[in-house]
Amino acid sequence: MVDRSAIGRSFEPTFASVEPGRLRFFLQTIGEENPAIIEDGTPKTIPPTYLFCLEMMDAPDPFVFLKELDIDLGRVLHGDQSFEYHAPVGIGDRLTYRSRVGDVFDKKGGALTFVIQSTEVENQRGEKVASMRRTIVVRNGEGTQ
């Protein structure tokens, strides 16, 4: 079980580059055909969820957040995810992701622990381009109802 002392804990930054080939692969994988995003196989813009996927793809260990909090991946459920965009991200941008634990709380008498991860994303010019938030739910067992 993750306790509230984890709130505010930060993790090593992750660095990622927005490369056209990988973006094209992502767009094909999700079946994106909107001509405002991709035209004749050439990406024109970055879709909203790509920043999350890019962070996972380029992290040396995409599950370090869970490991450092001693959370068993087999007990994790995806709870929620949100994005707030502050500036455009373009092909060729070099991004820095800085994550921290924003909150930890229990429900169902401790059977479920909710961990909020907050991530700020900056481009190579130090401009904040996005704020991402995800909630993971850890199944702890029966709890104390």
CATH number at 132 reads 3.10.129.10
In the structure, how many helices (H) and strands (E) does the chain have?
3, 7
Span between the terminal Cα atoms of the chain, in Å: 16
pLDDT in tens, 27-73: 888 888 877 777 777 777 888 789 988 888 877 787 888 888 888 88
pLDDT (mean) for 8-24? 91
Distance of CA 102 to the CA centre of its chain: 13
Average pLDDT, the chain: 89
Greatest extent of the chain over all pairs of C-alpha atoms, in Å: 57
Q: Looking at residue 98, what is its pLDDT?
A: 97
Note whether residue 43 is domain-resident.
Answer: yes
pLDDT (mean) for 87-98? 94
Q: What percent of the chain has pLDDT above 70?
A: 97
Q: Which residue has the higher pLDDT, 88 or 62?
A: 88
Number of domains in the chain: 1
A 10 A CB-CB count for 18 gives 19
> Whole domain around residue 55: which residue ranges?
4-139
**Best CA proximity match to 98, nearest among 9, 11, 7, 26:** 11
Instruction: For residue 82, list its beta bridge partners.
Output: 133
Q: Is the pLDDT of residue 143 over 80?
A: no
Q: Which residue has the higher pLDDT, 57 or 77?
A: 77
Which pTM does this prediction carry?
A: 0.85
Note whether residue 145 is domain-resident.
Answer: no
Q: How confident is the model at residue 84 (pLDDT cuts 50, 70, 90)?
A: very high
Note whether residue 20 is domain-resident.
Answer: yes
Q: Looking at residue 142, what is its pLDDT?
A: 67
